[in-house]
Structure 1
Amino acid sequence: MTSRDTAMYRVEIEVNGERRTVRVRAADILLYTLRDHLGLTGSKSGCDNGDCGTCTILVDGLPMKSCLMLTVEADGKQITTIEGLTNSPVQHAFVRNQAFQCGYCTSGFIVNCEGLRNMQPHADEETIRLWLESNICRCMSYEEIRNAVKDVINQKS
């Protein structure tokens, strides 16, 4: 290994309201930094190429697939994971509408829907449908998930 291969970078991020510092390699992906270095395992690895959305987090309030973001790119950013959304109205709506089956995709959907709720609080049916296309549910709970999102959007309106 060359010294270039072992170079470590100091990255400061705010995760769920707490300032955290991690030392990572340039190629380290944020998903694995959250899981392996910070113990935040709610974001899941489903595809590692941005297709499924199980690893969705909020970066400065915007939904982002953490498998597509290098940890060094998160330096100075505010990160919210599913663990930071405890008692979220979106979580309650998912429970009320039974918007989950196996639960694997649920954290990514909840985080994504929290981003929608914050960015487009009066989203119409078409906006909700388009927004949800970025995540995959293999158990086919899409109807229940849409109902949960509409439930939350209607509460906020």
Structure 2
Amino acid sequence: MHARVNGTEHPLPHDSRRTLLDWLREDLGLTGTKKGCDHGQCGACTVLVDGRRINSCLSLAQLHDGDAIETIEAIGSADALAPLQRAFVAHDGFQCGYCTPGQICSATALMSELAEGWASAVTEDIAAAPVVTRAELQERMSGNLCRCGAYSNIIAALEEVIAAEGPLRIDAEASA
């Protein structure tokens, strides 16, 4: 049983009780993924599994045989930040930084979801109305909490990246 983590094949742990979060952090040394609440409520442990965001504290590692897992370590680097990371820095989308890895992993998935036209509680068909509102972004990021309250800065960072990468546009009136 193996999983591809950040592009490298790794054997999954033998202990069937080991969470994906603990395996990533303790066994693979990928400490960018944070343990926040350990109950799936805060989003600090968000990682991408086959492109979809999950709370790694709620998933057992052995369930990911054959999966492609991406952690914050796979999204940009200190020398070459990803567009979302640059926008987070430019808009001060972090304060203490504890939630930032989960926020960026979640935002990465959000960008794909928007591009693929996934529905949300705010917009039924984003492809039919390719205008993204602040409410849409807030809804899609609602699974990631920030104790410092940097939410408006995080949304501003997302708006910048969406505006730069298109084909969706930001509703300036609804975002003001």
Give the TM-score of the pair, scaled to structure 2: 0.80
Contact 1:123 1:153 in 2 (8 A): no
4+ aligned runs moved over 6 Å, structure 1: none
Q: Which residue of the other structure, out of 74, 83, 90, is the alignment partner of 2:73?
A: 83
User: In the alignment, does 2:48 pair up with 1:58?
Assistant: yes
Q: Structure 2 stretches of 5 or more lacking a match? A: 116-129, 167-176
Change (3 A) 1:110 1:103: same
Match of 2:111 in 1: 117
User: In the alignment, does 2:54 pair up with 1:46?
Assistant: no
Residues 47-76 of structure 1: per-residue CA shift (max 9 Å, x gap):
011000000000000010000110011111
User: In the alignment, does 2:96 pair up with 1:102?
Assistant: yes
- RMSD in angstroms over aligned alpha carbons? 1.2
Contact 1:22 1:37 in 2 (8 A): no
Q: Hey, what's the Cα distance between the residues in 2 that align with 1:38 and 1:66?
A: 14
Match of 2:150 in 1: 141
TM-fit CA distance, 1:102: 0.3
Change (3 A) 1:52 1:123: farther
Counting aligned pairs with the same residue, the percent is 40
SS of 1:63 mapped into structure 2: strand
Aligned pair count reads: 147
Higher helix proportion: 1
Q: Hey, what's the Cα distance between the residues in 2 that align with 1:38 and 1:92?
A: 26
Change (3 A) 1:38 1:62: same
Q: Hey, what's the Cα distance between the residues in 2 that align with 1:132 and 1:107?
A: 13
Q: Hey, what's the Cα distance between the residues in 2 that align with 1:96 and 1:123?
A: 23
Q: Structure 1 stretches of 5 or more lacking a match? A: 1-10
User: In the alignment, does 2:126 pair up with 1:132?
Assistant: no
Q: Which residue of the other structure, out of 3, 8, 11, is the alignment partner of 1:21?
A: 11
Give the TM-score of the pair, scaled to structure 1: 0.90
Q: Hey, what's the Cα distance between the residues in 1 that align with 2:111 and 2:131?
A: 8
- The code of the aligned residue for 1:110 comes to I
TM-fit CA distance, 1:123: 6.5
Contact 1:46 1:54 in 2 (8 A): yes
SS of 2:98 mapped into structure 1: coil
